[in-house]
Amino acid sequence: MQDNSHNIPQYLKPNTENASYGELSFNARSKCWTIKAEPMVIEFAKRLFPGANNQKRGEIRFSDHRRIIGDINWLMIRYPLTVREKDKSRWENALKNAQDYHIQKQANKLKPKRIKPP
């Protein structure tokens, strides 16, 4: 299999910083990612992603979708979050799926839009 890590944009690369502004966890009941963080992080996320569920004070929820994972990871570049221990493998899988989706999308852009039949 080919290594496509150089084709991954920065917002889809895992965060390597040790500082943390809050916690990212997965809510299995509502199938969403929940961020519980400092007020400035929550306020920033609410303004940046108005479609996210922000009904509870001090937290914001994002649906579990591969395109949303890129948004969450992008947010984590600026405001590093600790992923809850029990959700780490789920997060890593979700991030890998988002990366694969991006690679496939980029590969599709290189394909011809139409092919003339012989």
CATH number assigned to the domain comprising residue 65 = 3.40.1170
Given this model, what pLDDT does residue 55 score? 80
Which pLDDT tens digit goes with each residue over 80-109? 999 999 999 999 999 999 999 999 998 888
Rounded mean pLDDT, 20-45: 94
Q: For position 1, what pLDDT does the model report? A: 46
> Measured between alpha carbons, how far is 105 from 110 in angstroms, rounded to an integer?
9
| Within-domain flag for 66 | yes
| DSSP secondary structure letter of residue 85 | G
Is 68 a member of any domain?
yes
Task: Please report whether residue 9 resides in a domain.
Answer: no
pLDDT for 6: 67
- Give the number of domains in the chain: 1
pLDDT digits over 41-77, tens only? 999 999 988 888 888 888 999 999 888 999 999 999 8
Q: Specify burial of residue 90 (Cβ count, 10 A radius: 0-12, 13-18, 19+).
A: middle
Question: What pLDDT was estimated at residue 60?
Answer: 94
On whether the CB atoms of residues 33 and 61 are closer than 8 A, the answer is: yes
Residue 13 has a pLDDT of: 76
